[in-house]
Amino acid sequence: MHDEEKDLEKLNDDCGECQQDGPETVSAEGAQGAAEVEPGGEAGGTGGAGGEAAGENDPAVLRKMLAEQTSRADENYDRLIRLQADYDNFRRRTRQEKEEIYKYTSEKLVSALLPVLDNFDLALSAEGNSIESFKSGVQMIYKQLMDVLAAEGVAHIPAVGEQFDPLVHEAVLRAESDEHPDNTVIEELRRGYYLKDKVIRPSMVKVVKSL
């Protein structure tokens, strides 16, 4: 019995120590739990982003954003109107320039021909000149005219003695001949001319045919 009483007292002492240690353990666990909650508190700071999102729904903020976008749209519209006006002016100016070019495209040539007309007037108004002097004057005017045309790229198409070329010659007569090869141009009935590299009028010619 004495031993059983000692064992009972020891058991009571152990339980008392457990009760004293219990609150400290719980306190430590509570502190740890509090420490674990703190990051959540920081994460709860994301509630600030939610506050910012809520701020974007603020009527005052929305009105400011609308005013900014409206101002930007007005600026873009004004820029578009100016560009359209510039383009319309450019088209009108280009059309007028083209019309001027088409209308006066021959001005340079006509100006160069005026001295030729002046010499024709002088030759026709001359009195008491012989046929030879008149002919000489006409030859001079003819040369002057050809010089003006040559400056513009006009050139005579070679004909007599050349082989017939349907691209530059127009055969209107054919003649038999034993002196020239077949298809040789033996006579020019009307001169043909180039304008630079383009045939503006073919030569009318007489061509040899085979016997």
Q: Flag whether 121 is in a domain.
A: yes
Residue 61 in this model has a pLDDT that exceeds 90: no
CATH number at 168 reads 2.30.22.10
**What local confidence, expressed as pLDDT, does residue 40 receive?**
44
**Looking at 136, 152, 168, which one is the last position of a domain?**
152
Residue 112 sits in the same domain as residue 93: no
The range of the structural domain enclosing residue 138 comes to: 106-152
Cα gap 160→59, rounded to integer Å: 97
**Looking at 104, 133, 163, which one is the last position of a domain?**
104
Q: Flag whether 79 is in a domain.
A: yes
**What local confidence, expressed as pLDDT, does residue 129 receive?**
67
Q: Flag whether 118 is in a domain.
A: yes
Residue 157 sits in the same domain as residue 211: yes
> What are phi and psi for residue 156, nearest 5 degrees?
-80, 140
Candidates 210, 209, 211, 208; CA nearest to 161 is: 208
Residue 96 sits in the same domain as residue 126: no
**What local confidence, expressed as pLDDT, does residue 63 receive?**
87
**What local confidence, expressed as pLDDT, does residue 164 receive?**
93
**pLDDT tens for each residue of 92-146:** 999 998 888 888 888 888 888 999 999 888 887 777 667 888 888 889 999 999 9
Q: Flag whether 37 is in a domain.
A: no
Q: Flag whether 35 is in a domain.
A: no
pTM value is 0.52
Candidates 182, 159, 181, 185; CA nearest to 173 is: 185
Residue 198 in this model has a pLDDT that exceeds 90: yes
Q: Flag whether 130 is in a domain.
A: yes
Query: Are β-strands 198-201 and 193-195 bridged in parallel, bridged antiparallel, or unpaired?
Result: antiparallel
**pLDDT tens for each residue of 34-53:** 444 444 444 444 445 555 55
Q: Flag whether 89 is in a domain.
A: yes
| Per-residue confidence band for 75, with pLDDT thresholds at 50, 70 and 90 | very high
Q: Flag whether 23 is in a domain.
A: no
Query: What residue type is assigned to position 185 of the chain?
Result: V
How many separate domains does the chain show?
3
